[in-house]
Structure 1
Amino acid sequence: MTAQLTSNSTSIFRLSPLIRITLLSLYVALTVPLPFLAEVTNAPTPPALLWVGIGVGLVGLYAVLTERVVVDDEGIQVTYPVWVPRFFRKGWSLPWVEVKQIKPRSTGQGGLVYYFLSQDGKAYLLPMRVAGFARLVNIVQAKTGIDTTDVRPLAQPWMYLILLGFTFLLLLVDGWTIATALSL
């Protein structure tokens, strides 16, 4: 899904569907077998409590994955739907005239992330996992005049495809694990 264009040259960029599906699937694959295993092993944590925790965690993860980047003639902002509490994910807004530069920072895994630096020295993380990232970067360059030719996404789609493939394998193992637990 690419960015939506609305009136007054406003573009809305949502998190890439590939990233959203991969992360939600991985969460399910890692957590769903736990209540079944807790029941079979007579673990001290009741399976019902695990189901509640898994549900709360799934809603929290989905909330994080509803991030939207809105760019218009005035600036850029990261927002979340109204059902996501502001204390959980606040978002931010930055007018184009306040953007001083884009600064790269290395991550602990050796990748690069980019921050907008405002005139007053505050840093705002450039959202890098949106569908249409190249278009977003082109809009940033057009609105700020900052050269963005070296700005690239943190992770390439093939990385998420590999993770999704391994997640499906894990789901198959989960199916076997759950079937085995239920047959005991």
Structure 2
Amino acid sequence: MSPNQKTASETKPENNPENKQYSPSVFRISPIIRITLITFYWALLIPLPFLAKVSSTPVSPIILWIGISLGFIALYGALSEQVIVDDEKIQVAYPNWVPRFFRKGWQLHWKEVKDLKMRTTGQGGLVYYFVSQSSDQAYLLPMRVVGFNRLVKLVQNYTGIDTTDIRPLAQPWMYLILFGFTLLLLLVDAWTITTAINQGLM
């Protein structure tokens, strides 16, 4: 966050028609991120039931398939996150089928936003948290959504906080590289499983 950045308490948003939003804006996690992570998940775990079948492991392949399927449902639920923005609040929500104990959404009214604090991740990236005026709880600004630049502009319009220096946590090309390696891993998985079947090991 730049030194001259102003907090919501120091700068109030201008009262103009552009700030008035009559229908909510919905931001979803980028498709390239969702596709890459889901493909990577299957590439890593698909071989396990086949390995269990040809080895002496006590774990049944059926149990592994059940566990992998449940894990996929959990991953898909986490990647179904939606950020909903209107002229009153920002809200992070999940589909109704996602249990609240697994993924609990949140909402914060613009008038409650005190500041937007920067934190450094363990990998050296930057994340940002909304600080509420009424509680000590912090709310993570979603940074992997499609239209992130538009999202932070809305945050600036409704809070008066300068978001000029805020950038997405990861660039699309990073996920494209990971997706490329994931496809290679899937090819190796397919070759290994096909070879084992042809040799009568399964």
TM-score (structure 2 length as normaliser): 0.86
CA drift of 1:8 comes to 2.0
Matched, 1:32 2:30: no
Matched, 1:172 2:187: yes
CA drift of 1:178 comes to 1.1
Larger RCO of the pair (alpha carbons < 8 Å, separation 6+): 2
Matched, 1:140 2:155: yes
For the pair shown, which has the larger CA radius of gyration, 1 or 2?
2
In the alignment, structure 2 segments of 5+ residues that lack a partner are 1-20
Match of 1:158 among 173, 177, 180: 173
Partner SS, residue 122 of structure 2: coil
Aligned residues: 178
Matched, 1:89 2:117: no
Do the aligned residues in 2 keep the contact of 1:78 with 1:92 (CA within 8 Å)?
yes
Q: Which residue number corresponds to residue 64 of structure 1?
A: 78
Q: Which residue number corresponds to residue 140 of structure 2?
A: 125
In the alignment, structure 1 segments of 5+ residues that lack a partner are 1-6
Moved over 6 A (4+): none
| CA deviation profile, 1:99-126 (whole Å, cap 9, x unmatched) | 1111110000001011011113320000
TM-score (structure 1 length as normaliser): 0.94
Q: Which residue number corresponds to residue 34 of structure 2?
A: 20
The code of the aligned residue for 1:125 comes to L
Match of 1:51 among 27, 46, 65: 65
Determine the C-alpha separation between the residues in 1 that align with 2:144 and 2:86.
Answer: 19
Determine the C-alpha separation between the residues in 1 that align with 2:59 and 2:82.
Answer: 37
Matched, 1:79 2:93: yes
Determine the C-alpha separation between the residues in 1 that align with 2:96 and 2:179.
Answer: 29
CA drift of 1:44 comes to 1.2
Do the aligned residues in 2 keep the contact of 1:12 with 1:69 (CA within 8 Å)?
yes
Determine the C-alpha separation between the residues in 2 that align with 1:180 and 1:124.
Answer: 49
| CA deviation profile, 1:105-162 (whole Å, cap 9, x unmatched) | 0000001011011113320000000000000000000000000001111100000000
Determine the C-alpha separation between the residues in 1 that align with 2:47 and 2:193.
Answer: 6
